[in-house]
Amino acid sequence: MLRRAGHRTLLTSDYANRQSTHVRAVRPCRPPEEIEPTVAKSKVRKKAVYTPPQKSQAPQVSPRWLVPTMIALWLVGLAWIATFYVTASTGTDVPFMSDLGNWNLGIGFAAIILGVILSTRWR
């Protein structure tokens, strides 16, 4: 909003002009068409408009062997670790397990981890 004060045009949004009470040197004012706008111009949009991706063909289905294999690996890994702990704590000698020692934990956890990896493929 513009208002005239004598022969000088004041912008009401100009904080210094509104707050000032002392006399200033008066400069000749420019016509309104020569006043430069104080608002920045908006930039032209350079990006393309968003288009959503195409829908997939059909929902994917898991192979029939996936779930039984996944559950079997979990159970085998758990049973391997449990058997190792029971035989180690009682001193029982199991021919193949006793030779492996603490590697039995690695075998059991590897089977469990393989089951978890397969579970990520389940749809």
- Residue 94 reports pLDDT greater than 60: yes
CA distance 63 to 121: 9
For residue 68, which of 5, 6, 122, 3 has the smallest C-alpha distance?
122
CA distance 70 to 115: 5
**For the chain, what's the residue count?**
123
Helices 103-119 and 66-90, axial angle in degrees (round to 10): 160
- Residue-wise pLDDT for 21-78, tens only, equals 555 556 666 666 666 667 777 777 677 788 888 887 788 889 999 999 999 999 999 9
pLDDT value for 9: 58
pTM here is 0.53
